[in-house]
Structures are given as C-alpha cells and as structure tokens.
Structure 1
Amino acid sequence: MLTVKLSGLALIAALMSPTLINAEDAMIQFPVSDPSQWDYFSDQVMGGVSEGRASFEKSGAQTILRLTGTVSTANRGGFIQARTTLDAPLPSNAKGIVMEVRGNNEPYYIHLRTSGTVLPWQFYQAPFKAPDTWQEARIPFTEFSPYGGLLRQSFDVQKIRSVAVVAFGKDYTADLSVRAIGVYD
C-alpha cells in the first residue's frame, strides 16, 4: 500500500479497506482516525449563532468522525463543519467523493475549497442524505455547484485544497457520523 504524506494528512493511494467503503474503485482515503487532521468551524466566525462540535469516537477498531450541534440561520448564519486540508493535488482521474455515513435523516453537504475559492464564503457544494443506518454515498464532482459568487461553474480536481462535511443552510439539529471518506475514480 502506497502512502503519501500531505501536510499531516495521510492519503492512502490504494484500494480502501472493504470494511470501510465497499467501493472497488476507491483510490484515496482521508483518514478520520486522527483528530489533528480535522478542524471544526461554525458560523460563529462571522457572527452566527450555530453551535456544535466535531468529535472522534471509537466503534470497535474504527474511529468515527461525528459532527453534532444546532444549526441556526439567525444572524445571517447557518453552518457547522469539520474540514480537512490537502497540501498536494488529488489525482486528475478522481471522479468524486465516496463516504460511509450515518445520521438523523437530515440533508448534509460536502464543501470543497479550491485554489480559486479565495473568499471565506466561496466553495463548491453538493448535498447528500445521512440515513439512520450506515450507507455509502457517492457524489460525482459534476454534481458540485459553486456557492458564494464569482466562481466558475466547474473546477479542476487537482486544485481542490480542502474537503468538509457540513450541516448547512437551515435550522435543525445535526448528527452526522462519517466512518470513511475519500475519492474514487
């Protein structure tokens, strides 16, 4: 198994363990086992009032990233997120994000920031549902839409600089668990 070190974020450029994601073509995994690789942010950085946290819980031999809290659109807010940063490009043949998720049947999002998303409110986003049982979710990069203005409709996969799981855009209680996340070809 080939491991590439990217600013503390170990990306595994090989097939993912079938116990995590049952995707034969998965090619890169962003590990959720190391809390130091993930940062928690909320709309409080811009005056919002959403509250939450990103925690890391053991489930047998696996570590699960869990994003919980209350999302509030009051005071022009409306998000909580856990984000990991990449310091090297993803492979050009990556086709999308693949995850194993569980939640409270609410909508969640993947947010991607690229070298072209300079302003804090700019990103590319795609929604996904998190049912109350573990499920694989695949989101092709073609399903991501620009958010925040002044962005191109599409992006170069090799210019992705961060990946975030996000509770966003409406008033609700967030409870999202991620036991695997990566990209596939």
Structure 2
Amino acid sequence: MPFRPLIALFTGLFLGLPAHADPVSDYTPPPVTEWRYISDQVMGGVSQGGARAENVKGETYLRLTGDVSTKNNGGFIQARAELEQGFPAEAQGVVLQVRGNGERYYVFLRTRGTILPWQFYNAPFQTSDDWQTVRLPFTAFKPSGRLLRATPLPETVTSLGVVAYGRDHRADVTARWIGLY
C-alpha cells in the first residue's frame, strides 16, 4: 500500500509528501490550536512543561518542552489531539517527522476501548537534532494493560498524543507533521 498521509494533523504542518502520496480526503484534522497540553499533575505528579505552536520560516510546528519527573507516581507530559473520527481501517501505521534533544519519546493512541484515564497504546521513537521521518506501524503500539486488545484498530482511534514519558528527563521535541501509511 502506498504512503497515505492525512491532509495534516496540525494545520500548517503538512510540508510536502512523496509524489506518489494520496491524501486521505475524508479526514478533517484538528488545527494545532486544538492540541492540548496534559501532565501527570492531573493525578498528583510534579512534571512541568508546555506545548505551543511555533512559526518557523512561515510554517507552524508543535513543540513539547518541560521536565518529566517520576516523583509522586508521575512521569509524563504530552500534547494530545482529540480526533473527530478514527483513522481509515486500511491504515497500517502513523508517520511523524520530528526532531528533538536526542531523547526517546512516544506516540500515545487512545481508542474507543481505552475507557479508563490510564489506558493507552504507546510506541517509542528516538529524536536527534536533525529532522527525521518515523514510521510506527499499529503493531508496534503496546497496550498499557491486559484489558486492551494486543493491537489497536485504526478505525477506533479517538486521540493521538506526542508524549515524554516514563523516566526523569528534560523534554524538548518538535513535530513537523503527522500522517498515515
């Protein structure tokens, strides 16, 4: 199946695709202003940070920064977008173009089956100072507990998040665009 990008998950972040790409025309992505920042403080953690849109050379980027702390049973900061509809059933994975401070980050997916606040699917990716394209097949997403399916179904995805998670570290990751293949 050819690379099938979304129109964009961030308004203004869709910065070019391979010539053979077919946009998913029936998907309306949320604008970058609708991505919301969430930290472990919602459950008593002490991680701090923020997510913001940045304009660089006329393009809009989403940047997640902060300090992740595992104190008080915490350990995450994230920027999350709620989706109006799931991904197309034939989608095989998520594509990101990112750069960061060399740390490992995650994409978190929530689905119609992740009912409890601490349920999610996650797949890691590594960053560097250079822009890189990361492809995460849905089979790479691991459930946060035994009550979830082994692999998320694309059509059931309700939100997508870029997350700094699981260990004490300084977070700084910028997402250039996100799509599907």
- Bin for the TM-score computed over the shorter chain: 0.7 to 0.9
Question: Partner residue of 1:100?
Answer: 97
State the match for 2:61 in structure 1. Answer: 64
Structure 1 residues 174 and 22, CA gap change in structure 2 (3 angstroms): farther
Deviations 1:89-130 (A, max 9, x none): 211111111011000010000000000000000000000001
Task: Point out the structure with the larger strand share.
Answer: 1
Identity of aligned residues (%): 51
- Which TM-score applies when normalising by structure 2? 0.86
Distance 1:35 1:128 in 2: 21
Give the TM-score normalised by the residue count of structure 1. Answer: 0.84
| SS of the residue 1:12 aligns to | coil
Alignment equivalent of 1:179, drawn from 163, 176, 180: 176
Structure 1 partner of 2:7: 12
2:39 counterpart of 1:42: yes
- Helix, strand or coil at the partner of 1:45: helix
Residue 119 in structure 1 maps to residue 124 in structure 2: no
Q: How does 1:76-91 map to 2 (within 5 A)?
A: 76-91=73-88
Q: Which amino acid aligns with 2:37?
A: Y
Q: Which residue of 1 aligns with 2:126?
A: 129
Task: For 1:162 and 1:48, locate their aligned partners in 2 and report how far apart those are by CA, in whole Å.
Answer: 22
CA RMSD of the aligned region, Å? Answer: 2.2
The Cα of 1:149 is off from its aligned counterpart by: 3.8
**Which residue type is aligned with residue 34 of structure 2?**
Q
Query: Aligned partners of 1:30 and 1:83: how far apart in 2?
Result: 16
User: Matched residues in 2 for 1:152 and 1:36: separation?
Assistant: 31
**More deviation in 140-149 or 61-70?**
140-149
How big is each residue's C-alpha offset from its partner over 1:18-72, in whole Å with a ceiling of 9 and x where there is no partner? 844558447458868x332201000000000000000111111210100000000
| Structure 1 position 150, deviation (Å) | 1.4
Gaps of 5+ in 2: 1-5
Whether 1:140 aligns to 2:137 is yes
Aligned pair count reads 170
